[in-house]
Amino acid sequence: MDKAQARITFIDTIARFTAYTSKHLPDDVRTKLKELGDQEDSEMAKIIYTAMFDDLTMADALSRPVCQDTGIIQYFVQVGTHFPLIDEIEDCLREAVKKATALAPLRPNAVEVFDEKNTGNNVGVRIPWIEWELMPNRDDVQIYCYLAGGGSSLPGAAKVLMPLEGYEGVVKFVFDQISSYGVNACPPLLVGIGIAGSVEVAAKLSKKALLRPLGSHNSNPRGAELEARIEKGLNELHIGPGGFSGKNSVMGVHIEQAARHPATIAVGLSTGCWAHRRSLIRIDASMRYEIISHRGATI
């Protein structure tokens, strides 16, 4: 395949992959929602979980997004240094978003700051947001697509703590945010926490934490223990599905960290909602694709 044809195929694949992401939750999220729903015994909580699964069934049958809120589209790109389209990925992703918006169709969400105008196609200044990672000596690309809904982004926050506040300060920050704003994000939530030396690193890591599969653990045993303890504590708030109270509050708590400065503990918080539309695709040098997040998916 020549480069021009590869570009057309790449854009088309990402457009269909993005549209697919809006209509189908990944396997791990569906499994977790089922597990949490089965634990509920209150009438209201059971009704909400039933409504969620009805929504997923209808989205699939009618080929419509699982939520009206497209979110702001974000891509986390891990690109091999020998991938043939490495120079064109950003432009291709912007074209793919325009195409996905018409194809799905997706509600246009991107509003230009200061102009206060909706662009009408989910593309705008620096949107889709793209985060990059290089993979040396490889010729493929792996792309996470994440639809960051307005409600699910509302509890997000980041702060630099005084060092003496310690990890207890991190926990207090998370509990203050989730108990105050978590209900806005259509629970059960996925809670992403970043811990680092400065605020922008902590904030970015908190979003990256949302990409990890449910059931995965922090690479450091102490980090994994803190994840489990925060998850247990947040579940004891009994926020429940949709915020109507129930046995649990969260689908999981993921922490990602970077070595910090001795004088600072920066903490970032991002949340995902029950409709956690996060997907992962791998595309090789000949533009063949494999969707990793949704078993057996074809687009």
The residue with its CB nearest to ligand SF4 is 149
Q: Is 234 in the site for ligand SF4 (CB under 6 A)?
A: no
Q: Residue 18: how many CB atoms within 10 A of its CB? A: 30
Q: Is 67 in the site for ligand SF4 (CB under 6 A)?
A: yes
Q: Minimum distance from CB of 168 to ligand SF4 (Å)?
A: 29
Q: The tokens 């970015």 sit on which residue?
A: 204
Q: Is 14 in the site for ligand SF4 (CB under 6 A)?
A: no
Among 129, 102, 89, 100, which residue's Cα sits nearest to residue 7? Answer: 89
Q: Pairing between strand 129-135 and 117-118?
A: unpaired
Binding-site member from 28, 40, 69, 256 for ligand SF4 (CB under 6 A)? 69
Q: Minimum distance from CB of 154 to ligand SF4 (Å)?
A: 8
Q: Which is nearer to ligand SF4, 25 or 283 (CB)?
A: 25
Q: CA–CA distance from 158 to each of 25, 99, 166, 198 (Å)?
A: 27, 34, 15, 10
- 135-154 residues near ligand SF4, rule: CB under 6 A: 149-152
Binding-site member from 185, 195, 203, 280 for ligand SF4 (CB under 6 A)? 185
Q: Which is nearer to ligand SF4, 218 or 270 (CB)?
A: 270
Q: Minimum distance from CB of 272 to ligand SF4 (Å)?
A: 8
**Count of residues that bind ligand SF4 according to CB under 6 A:** 12
Q: Is 108 in the site for ligand SF4 (CB under 6 A)?
A: no
Region near ligand SF4 per CB under 6 A, out of 10-18, 81-89, 115-123, 267-275: 267-275
Q: Which is nearer to ligand SF4, 75 or 274 (CB)?
A: 274
Q: Is 275 in the site for ligand SF4 (CB under 6 A)?
A: yes
Q: Minimum distance from CB of 203 to ligand SF4 (Å)?
A: 19
Task: Give contact residues for ligand SF4 (rule: CB under 6 A).
Answer: 67, 69, 71, 149-152, 185-186, 273-275
